[in-house]
Amino acid sequence: MGSNSRPHAVFLPYPAQGHVTPLLQLAKVLHARGFFITYVHSEYNRRRLLRSRGAGALAGLDDFRFEAIPDGLPPSANDDVTQDIPALCDALSRSAAAPFGDLLARLNSAPGRPPVTCVVLDNFMSFAQRVANGMGILALVFCTMSACGFMGYLQFMELMDRGYVPLKDESFLTNGYLDTVLDWVPGMPGIRLRDIPSFIRTTDPDDFMVHFDGGEAQNSRHAQGIIVNTFDELEQDVVDALRREFPRVYTVGPLVTSVKTLARPDAAAISGNLWKEDASCFQWLDAQRPGSVVYVNFGSITVMTPAQLAEFAWGLASCGRPFLWVIRPDLVTGEKAVLPEEFFAETKGRGLFLNWCPQEEVLSHPSTGLFLTHSGWNSTLESICAGVPMICWPFFAEQMTNCRYACAKWDIGLEIDNNVTREEVARLVKEAMDGEKGRDMNAEAAMWKEKAVAATEEGGASSVNIDCLVGFLLEGSVPTTAS
């Protein structure tokens, strides 16, 4: 296949870590199937990548290139944090279409690059779909979230139409109203209002994120296909419901597993980690007993109060287990995360603290026995693929939905209350690692790990769906997805 006759896929993630990672994984999978790849960062994240990984971070390969477009936000005083989510969504939707269109036009005329044949865009970047369609380019939406989370966003307009949103007043957050069961949501029997992505917890009828996220979900109906980073058996009812609403739904996950076997070896070093990873933890992990370590990481966006940080800290101190805790510099709202000296004295030799780490490898380490997590979808999938049970402290968005499924449907998680206390942290850790519930969770986690592997092996549902996706991107035909 000549260089100019190759299919050329342009990938556009929403510029946050949890979106950059899975889109890059899918890009590597398509790259191995013969696609020329252009992966588009925001200029802000491009600078962060160069800082975290050096000039080689964006070197790419001859047929796997990186580009950047402005996000529309003014320069920031601190440019090594995840940007304000509502402001970023607003700026991108207002100002990114023109530079993205300019980029596609430039790529189409660039010597040595084949013309763009398809755009794979993040589900929160629908402006790119309109730009691609206007240029006659095939556009597919990539759902970086769970199928259940995406189905939740699809209900935003309906929730407003039925009068559930906005809330009447602040008391509805605590008076039991959020426990209302929504028995009409497709494929999600028993789902409660509190399990729907958290932006609906507002008293403002004009709340920006409700209208933005609800609108972006509905915009995905205009795409030529929906790609979801999940596997059918994990979310079968929801996936079936999505397939009744969308003509083409490709479940291709967990991509964290697929990319290991399907990506080309020369693409292995291509990374999208926006923070510098600290791999010094593995020597410490090697010295711990199998299944004994509590791994704590609240992801790239979660923030907490100093009081909440202290409760988690003293809960970990009193649980008696060794722990590895990732504490981002911006974890605490408005200030640097600082733990008391007495805490360090109490946990000396038992606790290890890092700014960021190679999470997938930490979860897969034999010493890791439990994951205290914010229930982001990448973290949830990585935990499932490693067979590690979770304690879930969801922060926002569809993390609430993921938490509900992990705890109530997949039986691999325990939920911790938002008003976290040290006593509850210690109790749940002990229950998950020493109690009868913990033994059950370990058995379920091992089962789901096997099912995740089976889905991505040759002949598995996700593997077949990757074949169907590639066929559609190459031919523009309408293949049948795996059942």
Distance CA 302, CA 82 (A): 10
Residue 37 forms beta bridges with which residues? Answer: 9, 64
Quick count: other Cβ atoms within 10 Å of Cβ 172? 17
Distance CA 375, CA 398 (A): 9
Q: How many helices (H) and strands (E) does the chain have?
A: 19, 13
Long-range pairs, 53-62, Cβ under 8 A, ≥24: 53/271, 53/273, 53/276, 56/269, 57/271, 60/270, 61/266, 61/267, 61/270
Amino acid letter, residue 464: V
122 is annotated as an active-site residue = yes
CA 169 to chain centre: 31
Write down the catalytic residue from 63, 71, 122, 213.
122
41 is annotated as an active-site residue = no
- Find tokens 């979106």 and name the residue: 19
Q: Which helix (H) or strand (E) element contains residue 59?
A: none
Q: Please give the C-alpha separations between residue 442 and each of 30, 290, 410, 426, 427, in angstroms, as whole numbers.
A: 34, 13, 11, 18, 17
DSSP code per residue over 330-375 = T-BTTS-----HHHHHHTTTTEEEES---HHHHHHSTTEEEEEE--
Take residue 67 and report the two structure tokens written for it.
């580009």
User: 273 Cβ partners below 8 Å, 6+ apart?
Assistant: 17, 21, 49, 52, 53, 356
Quick count: other Cβ atoms within 10 Å of Cβ 268? 11
User: In this structure, what are the phi and psi dihedrals at residue 92, rounded to the nearest 5 degrees?
Assistant: -60, -45
CB 191 within 8 A of CB 237: no
Angle at 278 between CA 276 and CA 283, to 5 degrees: 170
Distance CA 232, CA 147 (A): 9
Write down the catalytic residue from 8, 19, 365, 374.
19
User: 25 Cβ partners below 8 Å, 6+ apart?
Assistant: 229, 255, 256, 258, 259, 263
- What is the set of active-site residues? 19, 122
